[in-house]
Amino acid sequence: MRAAAPDDAHLARLGQQLRVDAVRAADAAGSGHPTSAMSAADIAAVLLARHLRYDFDRPDHPGNDRLILSKGHASPLLYAMYKAAGAVDDAELLTFRTRDSRLEGHPTPRLPWVDVATGSLGQGLPIGVGMALAGKALDQIPYRVWVLSGDGEMAEGSVWEAVEHAGQERLDNLVLLIDVNRLGQRGPTRLGGDLGAYARRLEAFGWHTLRVDGHDTAAVDAALAAADATAGRPTAVIAGTDKGHGVAEVQDREGRHGRPLPDAEAAVAELGGRSELRVDVAPPPEVRIRRRPPAQGHRPPVFDRGGQTATRDAYGRALAALGTVRGDVVALDADVGDSTRTEFFGREHPGRAFQFHIAEQQLVAAAVGMASRGWNPFAATFAAFLTRAHDVIRMAAVSHAPIRLVGSHAGVSIGEDGPSQMGLEDLAMMRAVPGSTVLYPCDAPQTARLVAAMADAPGVAYLRTTRSATPVLYGPEDAFPIGGSRVLRSSDRDRACIVAAGVTVHEALGAARLLDREGIAVRVVDAYSVKPVDARTLQQAADATGCLLTAEDHRPQGGLGDAVAEAFSDGRPAPRLVRLGVRGVPASATGAEQLHAVGIDAESIAAAVRLLVAEAMVSP
Amino acid sequence: MRAAAPDDAHLARLGQQLRVDAVRAADAAGSGHPTSAMSAADIAAVLLARHLRYDFDRPDHPGNDRLILSKGHASPLLYAMYKAAGAVDDAELLTFRTRDSRLEGHPTPRLPWVDVATGSLGQGLPIGVGMALAGKALDQIPYRVWVLSGDGEMAEGSVWEAVEHAGQERLDNLVLLIDVNRLGQRGPTRLGGDLGAYARRLEAFGWHTLRVDGHDTAAVDAALAAADATAGRPTAVIAGTDKGHGVAEVQDREGRHGRPLPDAEAAVAELGGRSELRVDVAPPPEVRIRRRPPAQGHRPPVFDRGGQTATRDAYGRALAALGTVRGDVVALDADVGDSTRTEFFGREHPGRAFQFHIAEQQLVAAAVGMASRGWNPFAATFAAFLTRAHDVIRMAAVSHAPIRLVGSHAGVSIGEDGPSQMGLEDLAMMRAVPGSTVLYPCDAPQTARLVAAMADAPGVAYLRTTRSATPVLYGPEDAFPIGGSRVLRSSDRDRACIVAAGVTVHEALGAARLLDREGIAVRVVDAYSVKPVDARTLQQAADATGCLLTAEDHRPQGGLGDAVAEAFSDGRPAPRLVRLGVRGVPASATGAEQLHAVGIDAESIAAAVRLLVAEAMVSP
């Protein structure tokens, strides 16, 4: 079956080599976590030489197993494996942690064999769940997903969201390897070396568990074989190990986390000296990528101009339509599909709809895993609850993962449910994500267009939707490119420009009508693309009017007001700016009462414009 | 022992009354979640009438039990309980969800009997863990913490962080009541009505579990008594219930979540009609608040001007010193106390130091719980990993909880560890928190002063620290009020002002020196108080120079650049602004290489100032 399966003695020597190379890499760098690599080296040796199926020349081979080093700080172990597999050479190994090296402190997809960045603990398993789901339900290819995890990170709730989901979905293509070296960063882990404690917990969630001595290569080999042979449930191999195994000065000792060995040369000698064993990693099976062919001639949903439709409804309908023309689109829900309208997609494309229950970290991590397999995931929940997944989103950006997130029930306009349900920080969170696209439509046709556009965005794309119905302003012929905006009112007499997005676009138009009656002409810009923002249109408005006012159903920090200010943060002369947003903690009230109370309804906007224009007249 | 213990028939009638009042409240509001209230009504009746010890006239009574309605959408049940206890009247009950009512859609501390806001699911238990820890380790008062949870929210990872921690800490003063009504929002929960599945999971984490019919008041009563009598471990009462119990049209039916009953009048009749039973809730025991008396004459740490100290070191030393003079200060760690330097506190005050392992949601939720008991918690981890707790922080603000968060290892300046470990979004996250204070010191004495100041901040206060040593600029006599700034260089020839904070203050000073040699005088402002920002000093600098440049080791969105822009977002004439920050995804490199690569080192800042000054000369 596989080329040159090494014997146990060879495996033990390979394990030592991985340790030696991890020690050398960290020593060359002057930093890093060699002791965390050393504990898992024998597990890694067995996996690489006997179980992994992977073509290092073709990292995009659809049949490749997936390997996630969830304990990303053990990166020198991963790089030593790559070297043993012939994928990197010794010279590159010793570039570890230096500028421009692919071998970063924690693994990132700058290396073609790394699917997703790790280093924020507890994310490997939930992402692996996404990959394993893709393997079973979407690709339908028998690759296996191996997640090598530390013991300390088992304290993260994200891990237990994944444990629960993998158990329920019976993901027998997923194997969790837990390196129980009993020592965390500042001392013993919660459970220490109690392998049974991990086993009891995982079994309670429906997992198959195996306990082994993680330095007994034959035992590890048997456990991985048993894991591979297990059908109907995921397997966890719980391996008791020593941190810093093989070097007496550091082995199983506290205070040795995250630093090179005191005497690398002596350590290498104690580990048996350098070796250059090469592993012929077993190739993946020949398989074919499976994508549903797109349907022809399907049209996006149509909305009547002058009617009223909630943008969340438009999202659901547009996503369902997009799913018909694009076979790569999948939809992910966290028990709120009836609110976000993700359920519209599920009705039409049940094979590509995934339910994660109330577990937002798993929701987004699964999207990352599926995206890494070439699928185009749209994950939606309330905008407020996407904050649960903030760290997963942050890491998705480090991975350059093309995922699409949708936050519904944005802002105070949701009304009576109160502040716990209001997404008021989501724009700030999503704008600060590097390379992100942030969209906030005000009506249904715009939403539909943006849903289609975001499917091709390069990184993390975010769409913000509104609970209540809003008037349909645009027609099916209107285009809304990412980075654009729409000037909804303008004249050569404009004395200020109101910049709005989403629900406040309608309030801004109302304000403009109120002001018009008083003879104050104002421009209104619909800044549906909050990032990238349409700097040029804003700069033109500033040149024409000298006064900009932003109104957003969001905190004054980090959202639309900040985006507009950033358009003038390149040293150019800046206009007068006023930003209206939600200050303080709102309470329950109707949507209209809320908008008025926080000062972003038409009347409040008009009042602020009056003040701004008056000030500009006094000191132009 | 307790006044007028009602018999079982009375309890059943009380349960019906709570249902009736929940139905009536939601009907009056026209929205809400009565069916989620109805499932838990019998549990609530038994708890209120037979087990809770609470003085509704003295919600600050230190002996009061704590009750957290983690399934916050079932708020009308809580309000119906308050009515039965005589704390609110029927007229107020019917103000549910209206403007200015204390009875919000989801409970908030606008009601004096609500310690913490709920409504973002899965937070009640981790906050309850914080309260229970406070009860045992700090207050040493035998109050019990009752958390009433939904079954759907058991999917949240935050719950399992708490389950693990409560099990490990043997919190037998904590009782989790799980209302297993088997239906989530858009359909069945993950585990449906399988009470055994919950029991297996919880028992694996060391909990005592009891399964009951949640509509059998005698069985619930016995279970709560058994829970109270359990020593050495926390207890979960897993109650099988029907969503919408008691009204055939909605009972145990899908599609009935989050909406009033179709015919409230008929439902009330079916439930036995209105009643006005009053419960004499058992009083708490007489206890005394326990606070360690402050030590006298203790001094904050002293740092040598001209020396080098990392602000994280200064944090650790200052917190330890603060803990000596203030007996209310407690310190919380998530396995990185050696990095954040929280361990300095633990060495001096072991009884007030808490270890939560790698579980950041539990870390921050415990701080919220302890703050609600009057303690002054400082919770620290890497700034990057505080994003894990974003939703807990968001809800802490809704609760107006005075918690102190500290994020270490901020920015690209950490160097080789790479992007997964770099806090680059934390200022954006923390600034958008309503009522927050955001501090970012550049040296050790400033850090020490700000640590003391933040202990008295009214809401969520955040301190950002740097990994590497930075020069000591200030002396022990320098004061750093929240909302202030320091002008480090200024002259009447200044042609621009560099606004910096933290590590970039030193780069800004370097840039000023470079520019000085070229005859370009620049002002340098140390904006250590990022929120509230010192608008007046910035406005003076703008008036004097017309050109402001911000430099921050953070994303350009939502951080210092935004804070400075916001100081000019009130319609006043704005200066030219340039913002330098971290764009794109950094890689591994030394700290100095990182600062240069992203363009925030002294040379890059000087180059940007030159350009800005030149532009201003061309078109002033």
pLDDT digits (tens, 9 = 90+) for B561-588: 999 999 999 999 999 999 999 999 999 9
pLDDT level of residue A288 (50, 70, 90 thresholds): confident
At B61 the pLDDT is 96
Residue the block writes with tokens 């990292």: A59
Please list every residue in chain A whose beta carbon sits closer than 8 Å to the beta carbon of residue B339: 185-186
Please list every residue in chain B whose beta carbon sits closer than 8 Å to the beta carbon of residue A572: 576, 615
A360 is catalytic: yes
The two tokens of residue A473 are 């302003």
At A300 the pLDDT is 82
Using the Cβ of A272 and the Cβ atoms of chain B, whether some distance falls under 8 Å is answered with no
Task: Give the side-chain half-sphere CA count within 13 A for B536.
Answer: 4
Q: Average pLDDT of B463-490?
A: 97
Using the Cβ of B296 and the Cβ atoms of chain A, whether some distance falls under 8 Å is answered with no
In this complex, the residue of A106, A384, A416 whose CB is nearest that of residue B421 is A106
At A619 the pLDDT is 72
CA distance B341 to B336: 8
In angstroms, what separates the C-alpha of B155 from chain A's closest C-alpha? 5
Give the DSSP per-residue string, A501-513: -THHHHHHHHHHH
pLDDT digits (tens, 9 = 90+) for B512-564: 999 999 999 999 999 999 999 999 999 999 999 999 999 999 999 999 999 99
Using the Cβ of B335 and the Cβ atoms of chain A, whether some distance falls under 8 Å is answered with yes
CA distance A69 to A58: 19
Chain B residue closest to A109 (CA)?
A: B587
Please list every residue in chain B whose beta carbon sits closer than 8 Å to the beta carbon of residue A104: 418, 587-588
Please list every residue in chain B whose beta carbon sits closer than 8 Å to the beta carbon of residue A619: 573
Residues 509-568 of B with CB under 8 A from A: 531, 547, 555-559, 561-563, 565-566, 568
Chain centroid to Cα B266, Å, comes to 42
Query: In a 3-state reduction of DSSP, which class is residue B106?
Result: coil
The two tokens of residue A201 are 């917990």
At B306 the pLDDT is 86
What whole-number percentage of chain A has pLDDT above 70?
Answer: 98
Using the Cβ of A579 and the Cβ atoms of chain B, whether some distance falls under 8 Å is answered with yes
Q: Average pLDDT of A63-90?
A: 98
In this complex, the residue of A184, A569, A576 whose CB is nearest that of residue B571 is A576
In angstroms, what separates the C-alpha of A297 from chain B's closest C-alpha? 32
* b/e A178-200 (16+ beta carbons within 10 angstroms → b): bbbbbbbbbebbbbebbbebbbb
In this complex, the residue of A98, A205, A387 whose CB is nearest that of residue B394 is A387
Q: Do B152 and A357 touch (CB under 8 A)?
A: yes
| Residues composing chain B | 620
At B290 the pLDDT is 72
CA distance B511 to A436: 31
Using the Cβ of A118 and the Cβ atoms of chain B, whether some distance falls under 8 Å is answered with yes
Q: Count Cβ atoms below 10 Å from residue B100 Cβ, excluding itself.
A: 11
CA distance A274 to A267: 11
Smallest CA-to-CA distance from A364 within A397, A341, A338 is with A397
Interface confidence: ipTM more than 0.90: yes
Smallest CA-to-CA distance from B560 within B572, B549, B570, B552 is with B552
pLDDT digits (tens, 9 = 90+) for B405-434: 999 999 999 999 999 999 999 999 999 999
Size of interface A-B (CB pairs under 8 A): 374
Residues 6+ apart with CB under 8 A from A517: none
Task: Give the side-chain half-sphere CA count within 13 A for B481.
Answer: 3
Residues 16-45 of A with CB under 8 A from B: 29, 31-32
Residues 6+ apart with CB under 8 A from B508: B488, B498, B499, B500, B524, B551, B602, B605
Residues 160-189 of B with CB under 8 A from A: 160-161, 164, 168, 184-187, 189
pTM to 2 decimal places: 0.98
Please list every residue in chain B whose beta carbon sits closer than 8 Å to the beta carbon of residue A565: 562, 565-566, 569, 577
Contact A82, B319 (CB under 8 A): no
CA distance B165 to B175: 14
Q: What are the backbone angles phi and psi of residue A382, rounded to the nearest 5°?
A: -60, 140
pLDDT digits (tens, 9 = 90+) for B511-522: 999 999 999 999
Query: In a 3-state reduction of DSSP, which class is residue B347?
Result: helix
Strands A461-464, A329-333: pairing kind: unpaired
CA distance A424 to A582: 8
At A306 the pLDDT is 86
pLDDT digits (tens, 9 = 90+) for B174-220: 999 999 999 999 999 999 999 999 999 999 999 999 999 999 999 99
Q: Which of A153, A270, A360, A507 is catalytic?
A: A360
Smallest CA-to-CA distance from A236 within A320, A162, A181, A158 is with A162
CA distance B261 to B27: 7
Residue the block writes with tokens 């769940």: A129
Q: Do A565 and B570 touch (CB under 8 A)?
A: no
Contact A174, A147 (CB under 8 A): yes
pLDDT digits (tens, 9 = 90+) for A540-597: 999 999 999 999 999 999 999 999 999 999 999 999 999 999 999 999 999 999 999 9
- Evaluate if residue B299 carries a pLDDT over 80: no
Please list every residue in chain B whose beta carbon sits closer than 8 Å to the beta carbon of residue A187: 335
pLDDT digits (tens, 9 = 90+) for B333-384: 999 999 999 999 999 999 999 999 999 999 999 999 999 999 999 999 999 9
Q: Find the helix packing angle between B124-133 and B360-372, rounded to 10°.
A: 60
At A299 the pLDDT is 76
The two tokens of residue A561 are 């007001």
Contact A44, A237 (CB under 8 A): no
In this complex, the residue of A105, A337, A400 whose CB is nearest that of residue B588 is A105
Using the Cβ of B151 and the Cβ atoms of chain A, whether some distance falls under 8 Å is answered with no
CA distance A592 to B580: 39
User: Rg (Cα) of chain A, in Å, rounded?
Assistant: 27
In this complex, the residue of A121, A416, A531 whose CB is nearest that of residue B29 is A416
Q: Average pLDDT of A453-457?
A: 97
Ramachandran bin of A414, using left for φ above 0, alpha for ψ from -120 to 50, beta for the remaining angles? alpha
Q: Which of A106, A194, A205, A335 to mutate to test the interface with B (most CBs of B within 10 A)?
A: A335
- Evaluate if residue A120 carries a pLDDT over 90: yes
Q: Do A585 and B400 touch (CB under 8 A)?
A: yes
CA distance B395 to A421: 10
The two tokens of residue A81 are 């494996």
Instruction: Give chain B's mean pLDDT.
Output: 96
- Evaluate if residue A3 carries a pLDDT over 50: no
| Residues composing chain A | 620
CA distance A380 to A338: 11
Q: Average pLDDT of A248-264?
A: 95
Domains and CATH numbers, chain A: 8-270 (3.40.50.970), 308-471 (3.40.50.970), 488-618 (3.40.50.920)
* b/e A242-279 (16+ beta carbons within 10 angstroms → b): bbbbbbeebbbeeebbbebbeebeebbebbeeeeebeb
For the purposes of burial, counting CB atoms within 10 Å of the CB of A1, is it exposed (0-12), middle (13-18) or buried (19 or more)?
exposed
Contact A106, B418 (CB under 8 A): yes
pLDDT digits (tens, 9 = 90+) for B60-90: 999 999 999 999 999 999 999 999 999 999 9
pLDDT digits (tens, 9 = 90+) for B7-45: 888 999 999 999 999 999 999 999 999 999 999 999 999
Lowest mean pLDDT among A159-168, A296-305, A310-319, B153-162: A296-305
Chain A residue closest to B575 (CA)?
A: A574
CA distance A599 to A583: 9
- Evaluate if residue B229 carries a pLDDT over 50: yes
Give whole-number Cα distances, A314 to A336, A355, A418, in Å.
16, 21, 24
Q: Do A200 and B204 touch (CB under 8 A)?
A: yes
What's the count of helices (H) and strands (E) in chain A, helices before strands? 22, 19
Q: Do A547 and B571 touch (CB under 8 A)?
A: yes
At A61 the pLDDT is 96
pLDDT level of residue A290 (50, 70, 90 thresholds): confident
Give the helix/strand (H/E) hosting A462: strand A461-464
CA distance B428 to A555: 11
Using the Cβ of A92 and the Cβ atoms of chain B, whether some distance falls under 8 Å is answered with no
Ramachandran bin of B128, using left for φ above 0, alpha for ψ from -120 to 50, beta for the remaining angles? alpha
Instruction: Give chain A's mean pLDDT.
Output: 96
What whole-number percentage of chain A has pLDDT above 90?
Answer: 95
Chain centroid to Cα A616, Å, comes to 44
DSSP state letter for A110 = T
Q: Do A161 and B156 touch (CB under 8 A)?
A: yes
- Evaluate if residue A1 carries a pLDDT over 60: no
Q: What are the backbone angles phi and psi of residue A38, rounded to the nearest 5°?
A: -65, -35
Using the Cβ of A395 and the Cβ atoms of chain B, whether some distance falls under 8 Å is answered with yes
Q: Do B333 and A421 touch (CB under 8 A)?
A: no
Please list every residue in chain A whose beta carbon sits closer than 8 Å to the beta carbon of residue B204: 200-201, 203-204
pLDDT level of residue A160 (50, 70, 90 thresholds): very high
Give whole-number Cα distances, B211 to B196, B201, B214, B216, B305, in Å.
8, 13, 9, 12, 64
Contact A416, A589 (CB under 8 A): yes
Please list every residue in chain B whose beta carbon sits closer than 8 Å to the beta carbon of residue A533: none
